[in-house]
Amino acid sequence: MEYQLLVAQKERCKHQQATIIVKWKPPHRETYKLNIDRAAISNPGASGIGGIFRDHVGHWILGFSESTPKTNHVMVELQALQRGLQIGVEHKLTPFTINIDSSHIIN
């Protein structure tokens, strides 16, 4: 009886999937775009950061990735932002815009 109830419940709880198309938007001419993000095993936990600079056509200019100390996801996003800013200035990739998906940082 329990098995039949579980099977019936599973049929009612099927998840719907939606496809979301995301497209990279280029920066203005003579401007670069920096896309940065983080990856983590847990929060807090082992994590890493990475970023990529592209020109207005979308050509890859420079990329970076690094491991980071164990900390929370907001601090790791801030580390990614800080490192991206440093690299952009060091390599004279200015002016540049930044794309980051962390609402904690944006707000």
What is the number of structural domains in the chain?
Answer: 1
Q: Does residue 49 lie within any of the structural domains?
A: yes
Q: Does residue 47 lie within any of the structural domains?
A: yes
Q: Does residue 97 lie within any of the structural domains?
A: yes
- Supply the pTM of this predicted model: 0.73
pLDDT band at 39 (very low <50, low <70, confident <90, very high): confident
C-alpha distances (whole Å) from 52 to each of 11, 14, 58, 80, 97 are 43, 38, 11, 11, 12
Q: Provide the terminal-to-terminal Cα distance of the chain, rounded to the nearest Å.
A: 51
- Host domain of residue 60: 25-106
- Summarised one tens digit per residue, pLDDT across range 2-21 is 555 555 555 555 566 778 77
Q: What per-residue confidence (pLDDT) applies to 95?
A: 96
Q: What is the CATH number of the domain that holds 62?
A: 3.30.420.10
Q: Does residue 57 lie within any of the structural domains?
A: yes
The mean per-residue pLDDT over the stretch 63-73 comes to: 87
